[in-house]
Amino acid sequence: MAVQAHIAELLEKHRQLDLEIESELQSPGSDTLHISALKREKLRLKEELERLRSETRH
């Protein structure tokens, strides 16, 4: 069950990054480098989630 808890934690971090990216995009003078870094982190989390889900299926 520890893997499921880790997946839930990663999902929450992914959701939080999504909210932060949306907030940055809405604000005037947003920092495109910061937004890019957030998007890369979100993608990294997504890839890790997919890997963990794949491992739990086998």
pLDDT for 1: 63
Residue 20: which of 6, 41, 5 has the closest Cα? 41
Encoded tokens for 36: 């890019």
Chunked into runs of 10 residues, the chain (58 residues) has average pLDDT values of 90 97 93 96 97 88
pLDDT for 11: 96
Encoded tokens for 5: 């808890």
Range of the domain at 44: 2-57
Encoded tokens for 13: 């971090």
Number of domains the chain is built from: 1
